[in-house]
Structure 1
Amino acid sequence: MKTENKQRTIAKEVTLKGVGLHTGENVTMTFMPALENHGFAFKRVDLEGEPIIEADANYVVNTQRGTNLEKNGVKIQTSEHVLAALIGMDIDNVLIKLDAPEPPIMDGSSKFFVEALEEAGIVEQEQEREVYVVKDVITYKDEATGSEITVIPSDEYQVTTMVDFGTKVLGTQNATLEHISDFKTEISNARTFSFLHELEMLLEHGLIKGGDLNNAIVYVDKEISESTMKKLEKAFDKKKLSVKPNGILDNLTLHQPNEAARHKLLDVIGDLALSGTRIQGKVIANKPGHFVNTQFAKKLKKIVKQERRNYVPEVNLHAKPIKDITAIMEMLPHRPPFLLVDKILELSEQHVIGMKNVTMNEPFFVGHFPGAPVMPGVLQLEAMAQTGGILVLSTVPDPENYLTYLLKIDNVRYKQQVVPGDSLIFKLDLMTPIRRGLCQMQARAYANGKLVSEAEIMAQIVKVKGE
């Protein structure tokens, strides 16, 4: 992982209206600014409690005719075009409010979403963006279909799609996006498409209720009988339909000869947004589809989570600390032998890094495995909590007048033993903004280049004296 640039959100809310492609329901969708580290999430304002569904690969329940999410029984259908626009516009944090289960299809592309986001304006935030740097080849293959997605090292996020539909009207096509900054001009207007044989089946099953010939390209891959043509004319509310020489139904003009491959590329970008991380690497997608895309996103999410947990902060142990032991004692009420952090090496509004040199002189070694000294896990937790105390106390002007109380510890894991001679590095990151003195932090301790322990810690600061 690396940090680069600042996270971005939109400057103000912006609303679009339309119909859902498959539901045919009228829908109002509003892009809302969101806090740092929020990511992308959908909010169903038409349901009781206005439940939120995060854009997370683990919530994918169905990939038939789109990427569909479900959390606690609440659904979002066809999320990929909206997510592709957000990634394509280099945005990190947005809440998407909907009064129906499906975003508006618009013209079947991401074009109108991109225009709306531009209208809202894009602003930088304080927190730096985390980017997953691909160092090794990662692949997922669907053996049943032969679809395969691979990501390889690259200097930036790039995507190539290779599609082969096996039909005369639409055969092999490729599309490549070299720079994400070109998404708007190169990819965003590529519309969704369907083959005639699929269209007939979808109509029979009552799907694509919101479809018309302005939001989906229909490739005619078979002879159309007169009765089928009448059904299509009725479904699309058209008096007369025809097949053009290029094999497309009615008079819709392609934006580019490889518009289908470009739309598949758009889908890949939208689906991979569900991994929850920015990617520095080149994605090569052979015969991509929503199933293989989202399976790859799940695999990538797991890899990123593991790497993030094992990521050792790069700090100079010999540099002058932000706070030495004297400054720490001015903030914390703890004193030796129960003061378990020696230095603060980094401190921001969102994180803190501290350290402790573990020596044979620690008083706890007298009774804790004296023949084979190991630092007790509970004291590692205490050391991390004290380091986190510095983070939360730094938010008030008079920290000496506050005490920090530990409220809750979750998901504690011990990975490696800590022994005399180890230099422990503690890194704590805010999980949610500090409110009313309550602070929830992800805490990790490292030694010898490895993760030794981790936990989620909730603490509260309480004023005990002073004005």
Structure 2
Amino acid sequence: MAYKQAKQHTIDREISLEGVGLHTGQKVKMTFKPAPENTGYVFKRMDLEGEPQIEADVSYVVNTQRGTNLEKNGVKIQTSEHVLAACVGLDIDNILIELDASEPPIMDGSSKFFVEALEKAGVVAQEAEREEFVVDQVISYHDEKSGSEIIVMPADEYQVTAMVDFGTQVLGTQNASISHLSEFKDEIANARTFSFLHELEALLDHGLIKGGDLNNAIVYVDKEINEETLKKLRKAFERDNIAVKQNGILDNLTLHYPNEAARHKLLDVVGDLALIGTRIRGKVIANKPGHYVNTEFAKKMAKIIKAEKRNNVPKIDLDQKPMMDVNDIMDILPHRSPFLLVDKIYSCTDSCVIGMKNVTMNEPFFVGHFPGKPVMPGVLQVEAMAQTGGILALKSVPDPENYLTYFMKIDNVRFKQQVVPGDTLIFKLELLAPIRRGICQMQGYAYVNGKLATEAVLMAQIVKSK
């Protein structure tokens, strides 16, 4: 399937919010600012000398207890996930997030107020195209200790499902899903963070959630509540009376949804996976997600994406109808069997061409080239690459059938993988400079099984044949 490439987005103007950090209890001002193309999500600590910046990158995750916490060169950002989820949910790619403390304001424990602020600032398109990782196979991460698992599978757009099972009477099995990011604002953004009473007591005993009050977290009562506990809660939250509702939560809040816990877990997944740094086109299914498993999965995805970028593997569907089949290619190139070494062209723009050759046991060169263990000669791989590049070069003339391309120079040739019978060679050639006076310089790549097999810099001359 052919996908339309989306443009990157940022916000139109800056906008600020104020509140307190959930765990630090510090007052904090947070300002969203527009950012240039290819910036990504960047936090900036305005309260520290030099106003250091921390990119929202999973490599900076240092702690996932009660939130996803980042640290770079000793500079920290705590509980980043709710803010990042709002940015992803509104389809924003580039933004600067300024803070005068280490932790964004908790607000009501959801992403609602961040979404509202960003919408007020206005989301605007930029010129550059969005980079996107198209999932073509199932990728998974499993945490044996917790039983949590996250997988991503092929899908036409970014979709997320979260399934939770806390094994308690008050909060059992729930799930939540979005099939399109446009659903985030209305279905997910206002789902608030939550805690179980036994966790809440432990946090209070350790001096955490200093910014907590009963307006920014749902508390599920999973144990018998005695007078000592009630006294502790009344003191912590400065309330004269605290009681338990029939549905098993403290009486401070009314649930927005019966499955608000699962929706908030989905919100956390969206925020944590923003740390991958590249948009995902695929369906994410998170079973018993948490910040640890979310960020470990994000690390795995980031590693896979980095390797693919390094290999520069083109994404094509070999089952789709090609732009040119072998008969179309022979209308342009003069080569014929056994020396025509490209079978199909899948795309050809003004600066890049992608082609393919099926390597079969019937190739004439296998008869004498290591017949006991046949390997495609490297020079013929380069020739096949050059023929594909010839299609790109001849695109620059109005009557390509009347021109030929000749090698002038080959540089930086490297062979990295053997090519054997049964392999499918994918070629990608990109112009290194505009074609001038019939001289065409290209960077060429050949791939087998998703790995770079051969690369070279080719220079050719376009010459009129008649």
Query: What TM-score do you get using the length of structure 2 for normalisation?
Result: 0.71
Partner SS, residue 58 of structure 1:
helix
Deviations 1:328-350 (A, max 9, x none): xxxxxxxxxxxxxxxxx867xxx
Are the equivalent residues in 2 in contact too, given 1:2–1:132 (CA < 8 A)?
no
Query: What residue number does 2:42 align with?
Result: 41
Counterpart residue type for residue 127 of structure 1: A
Partner SS, residue 257 of structure 2:
coil
Query: What residue number does 2:229 align with?
Result: 228
Change (3 A) 1:424 1:249: closer
Counterpart residue type for residue 301 of structure 1: A
Change (3 A) 1:243 1:415: farther
Query: What residue number does 1:132 align with?
Result: 133
Tell me, yes or no, if structure 1 residue 6 matches structure 2 residue 7: yes
Are the equivalent residues in 1 in contact too, given 2:427–2:444 (CA < 8 A)?
no
Query: What TM-score do you get using the length of structure 1 for normalisation?
Result: 0.71
Are the equivalent residues in 1 in contact too, given 2:314–2:428 (CA < 8 A)?
no
Counterpart residue type for residue 242 of structure 1: A
Query: What residue number does 1:338 align with?
Result: none
Are the equivalent residues in 2 in contact too, given 1:354–1:427 (CA < 8 A)?
no
Cα shift at 1:229: 0.7
Cα shift at 1:196: 0.3
Query: What residue number does 2:142 align with?
Result: 141
Deviations 1:206-241 (A, max 9, x none): 100000111000001111111111111111111111
Change (3 A) 1:423 1:169: closer
Counterpart residue type for residue 95 of structure 1: L
Cα shift at 1:269: 0.4
Partner SS, residue 4 of structure 1:
coil
Are the equivalent residues in 2 in contact too, given 1:14–1:31 (CA < 8 A)?
yes
Q: Tell me the matched-pair count.
A: 360
Query: What residue number does 1:446 align with?
Result: 445
Counterpart residue type for residue 199 of structure 1: L
Query: What residue number does 2:345 align with?
Result: none
Work out the CA distance in 2 between the residues paired with 1:207 and 1:277.
33
Superposed CA RMSD in Å reads 3.2
Query: What residue number does 2:24 align with?
Result: 23
Deviations 1:321-366 (A, max 9, x none): xxxxxxxxxxxxxxxxxxxxxxxx867xxxx7599xxxxxxxxxxx
The share of aligned pairs that are identical, in percent, is 68
Counterpart residue type for residue 157 of structure 2: E
Cα shift at 1:130: 1.6
Are the equivalent residues in 1 in contact too, given 2:154–2:282 (CA < 8 A)?
yes
Change (3 A) 1:269 1:426: same
Work out the CA distance in 1 between the residues paired with 2:236 and 2:283.
41
Instruction: Specify the structure having the higher radius of gyration (Cα).
Output: 2
Are the equivalent residues in 1 in contact too, given 2:108–2:192 (CA < 8 A)?
yes
Query: What residue number does 1:241 align with?
Result: 242
Query: What residue number does 1:408 align with?
Result: none
**Which moved further from structure 2: 303-312 or 149-158?**
303-312
Change (3 A) 1:447 1:252: same
Divergent runs of 4+, >3 A: 312-318, 352-355, 412-417, 426-429, 447-455
Work out the CA distance in 1 between the residues paired with 2:33 and 2:177.
30
Cα shift at 1:54: 0.6
Counterpart residue type for residue 446 of structure 1: Y
Change (3 A) 1:63 1:30: same
Work out the CA distance in 1 between the residues paired with 2:25 and 2:277.
29
**Structure 2: gaps of 5 or more residues:** 317-321, 326-347, 355-376, 380-411, 418-425, 434-441, 458-466
Query: What residue number does 2:300 align with?
Result: 299
Work out the CA distance in 2 between the residues paired with 1:73 and 1:131.
31
